[in-house]
Structure 1
Amino acid sequence: MTAGQSKEYELLVTNTGTDDDVIQLKLDLNYSSDLPDPPEWIIKIWGVEEKVWDVTYSKITEKEFTLIPEGVREITMTITCPKGARYGDRLNVVVNAVSKGDPANARDVKTLSFAGRQAVVAVKSSIGHERTVADAIYARAKAKDLGVFAVLAPANLRGYVFVESMNPDRLEEIVRGIRRARGVVKGRDEAAGINFSDIDVYLSPKPIVSGIMEGDIVELIAGPFKGEKARVMKIDETKEEITVELFEAMVRIPVTVRGDHVRVLQKEEDK
């Protein structure tokens, strides 16, 4: 979970007996952090009593309620990772539901585990100034130790910068006032950020020769044959090179050039 993010869990407690039963609900909490005085995770429970059971605020970790025969109680638990949490902060919650009428046999235990993690957030920038904005964000975050792990300005995405941060809720504070920055992009779950799978295409650069096929007509844009037109004869993805045959050459001799030294003029499939 990222700082400020909440998760909700549904618990069902059932009285399978023929008499009223008192259910004891007990929480065992185990926090771990590298900080000497870490912020507390927020735990709230609905359904045990009429008002919300704020475990964090009240420090009460045990409650009782009565269930009629065949009765079912729906309990909702919300866990919120605190703002200011550090990467690797952990919380284990052990929920014990015990029948006071038959404590030896009627009991159930559920364990929930949570860990603080970083999120990726998109920041909009002026087109052509992505690198400048990225450098400014990183410099400002590093100076204030605001939990920013990395800043990326993808070469194949214009107008956006990606920021990997433990506390995405503080990113607006970092971005505010940076020239050419146009603000933080808000998603449905702002605290959760962007899924890494959604931006994998920007993290894994494509091979230089991707998009070039044998038979394509290309123009050489660098090197001694700059300006010449040629046909692609062979592609070496490992070396990121292509072999072409120049149209205007007196003798049709294959020439090997780098994949980024050509511009595709016509695709083989379009002929």
Structure 2
Amino acid sequence: MGLTEEAEGETAPQEEASESVEQAEAAEAKPGESQVYVVKTTSGQEANVANLIYMRALTNKLPIYAVMVAEGLKGYVFVEAAGPHFVDDASSGIKHVKQRLQGVTSPADLERYLLVKPVVEELNVEDVVEVVGGPLKGMKAKIVKVDKVKNEVTLELLEAAVTMPITVNADYVRLVSRGKREKEE
């Protein structure tokens, strides 16, 4: 009996050590422990900087969990990491990186950049659009009707000899110019 008690006593510290290592690894992997940092870049070079930061994080095995470029925000890259020094390590020496802004950004601040506004919300009757997909690709048209529920627009082609209404998905059009109604208001 004394022999088994000693054996159990010897393995207990090893078990405690392995449990503490597992707990430490779990604590590092918690996404709640990470923060979102902002890196200021040259305008127009956000995607290049984000790719370089991502590649450095992979090669150096830095705890960087996400790199995001917001389409509507020029000159900034958002980096989710375990600490600011990891962001500095990943971004140091990259040509178009200016600086890391002090402090952290809350995920609530990023929501407005993550939510995509549907194209149909920006379109109105009388707007001139260009068809960007399908058999009519490249043709310009005037919007006759907007159906926001179905995400469709009815168009009259400007370049066609005969004007006939064509209904297409709003994702297949790109706004070229606003209609006369909005300019008068």
**TM-score under structure 2 normalisation?**
0.71
CA radius of gyration, larger in = 1
Please tell me the residue identity of whatever aligns with 2:59. Answer: A
Q: Once superposed, what is the RMSD of the aligned Cα atoms?
A: 3.0
Q: Map 1:173-212 to 2 at 5 A.
A: 173-186=89-102, 190=103, 193-212=104-123
Report the Cα offset of residue 217 of structure 1.
Answer: 1.9
Q: Deviations over 1:126-161 (max 9, x none)?
A: 222211111110111122222111111122222111
Does residue 1:265 correspond to 2:177, yes or no?
yes
Distance 2:84 2:113 in 1: 20
Aligned twin of 2:60: 144
Contact 2:64–2:86, Cα closer than 8 Å, also in 1: no
Please tell me the residue identity of whatever aligns with 1:130. Answer: E
Q: Deviations over 1:18-69 (max 9, x none)?
A: xxxxxxxxxxxxxxx974585xxxxxxxxxxxxxxxxxxxxxxxxxxxxxxx
Q: Deviations over 1:221-243 (max 9, x none)?
A: 545363534134123465x4422
Q: Secondary structure at the residue paired with 1:209?
A: helix
Please tell me the residue identity of whatever aligns with 1:86. Answer: E
Distance 1:146 1:204 in 2: 28
Aligned equivalent of 2:75, options 159, 179, 193? 159
Structure richer in strand, relative to its length: 1
Gaps of 5+ in 2: 1-18
Aligned twin of 1:243: 154
**TM-score under structure 1 normalisation?**
0.51
Gaps of 5+ in 1: 1-32, 39-84, 89-114
The answer to which of 254-263 and 153-162 deviates more is 254-263
Q: Secondary structure at the residue paired with 1:210?
A: helix
Report the Cα offset of residue 164 of structure 1.
Answer: 0.9
Distance 1:34 1:130 in 2: 40
Report the Cα offset of residue 185 of structure 1.
Answer: 1.5
